Copies of this chain bind each other. A is one copy, B any other.
Amino acid sequence: MSKSEIVIALDAMGGDGAPDVVIRGANIARVRYPRMRFMFFGKESAIVAGLAKFKRLKSVSTVHHADAVIADTDKPVQALRQRQGSSMRLAIDAVGEKAAHGVVSAGNTGALMALSKITLKTLPGIGRPAMGSIVPTVRGESVMLDLGANIDCDSTTLAQFAVMGEVFARNVLGVREPTVGLLNIGTEELKGSETIRTAAATLRGSGLPIKFHGFVEADDIAAGTVDVIATDGFAGNIALKSAEGTARLYTEYLKSAFRRSLFSRLGYLLARPALRLLRERVDPRAYNGAMFLGVNGVVVKSHGGTDHKGFANAIGVAFDMVSQGINPKIIDELSRLELAALPEPKRAAL
Residues of A with Cβ closer than 8 Å to B?
Answer: 136-138, 148, 151-152, 183, 185-186, 192-193, 217-223, 233-235, 237-250, 252-254, 257-258, 260-261, 263-264, 266-275, 277-278, 281-282
The reply to whether B245 and A245 contact each other, CB–CB distance below 8 Å, is no
The reply to whether A261 and B274 contact each other, CB–CB distance below 8 Å, is yes
Would you give 6 A-B contacts (Cβ < 8 Å), ordered by A?
A: A183-B238, A219-B244, A220-B245, A260-B274, A263-B270, A264-B273
A282 to B245, CA, bound (A): 14
A253 to B249, CA, bound (A): 15
A244 to B249, CA, bound (A): 12
The reply to whether B245 and A221 contact each other, CB–CB distance below 8 Å, is yes
The reply to whether A264 and B260 contact each other, CB–CB distance below 8 Å, is no
The chain B residue with its CB closest to the CB of A277 is B257
* A136 contacts across to B, CB distance below 8 A: 249
List 11 additional A-B contacts (Cβ < 8 Å) besides A185-B241, A235-B238, A266-B270: A183-B238, A185-B233, A185-B238, A218-B238, A222-B248, A243-B243, A243-B245, A261-B273, A264-B274, A264-B275, A267-B268
A239 to B185, CA, bound (A): 10
The reply to whether A250 and B248 contact each other, CB–CB distance below 8 Å, is no
The reply to whether A222 and B238 contact each other, CB–CB distance below 8 Å, is no
* A239 contacts across to B, CB distance below 8 A: 218, 238-239, 242
Q: Give the distance to chain B from A149, nearest Cβ to Cβ, in Å.
A: 10
Known: A218-B237, A260-B277, A267-B270. A138 touches B248 (CB 8 A): yes
The 9 closest A-B pairs by CB, nearest first: A267-B271, A267-B270, A219-B245, A218-B241, A222-B245, A264-B274, A218-B242, A222-B249, A260-B274
* A270 contacts across to B, CB distance below 8 A: 263-264, 266-267, 270
Q: Give the distance to chain B from A130, nearest Cβ to Cβ, in Å.
A: 14
The reply to whether A138 and B252 contact each other, CB–CB distance below 8 Å, is yes
Q: Give the distance to chain B from A337, nearest Cβ to Cβ, in Å.
A: 26
* A264 contacts across to B, CB distance below 8 A: 270-271, 273-275
The reply to whether B192 and A218 contact each other, CB–CB distance below 8 Å, is no
* A233 contacts across to B, CB distance below 8 A: 185
Q: Give the distance to chain B from A233, nearest Cβ to Cβ, in Å.
A: 7
* A272 contacts across to B, CB distance below 8 A: 267
Q: Give the distance to chain B from A231, nearest Cβ to Cβ, in Å.
A: 8
The chain B residue with its CB closest to the CB of A224 is B249
The chain B residue with its CB closest to the CB of A191 is B151
Which has the most chain B C-beta neighbours within 10 Å: A136, A237, A274?
A: A274
Known: A138-B252, A193-B151, A269-B267. A243 touches B241 (CB 8 A): no
Partner of A246, one of B217, B243, B257: B243
* A217 contacts across to B, CB distance below 8 A: 237, 241
A304 to B49, CA, bound (A): 62
* A243 contacts across to B, CB distance below 8 A: 242-243, 245-246
Known: A137-B249, A242-B222. A185 touches B268 (CB 8 A): no
* A183 contacts across to B, CB distance below 8 A: 238
A263 to B138, CA, bound (A): 24
Partner of A263, one of B219, B221, B223, B273: B273
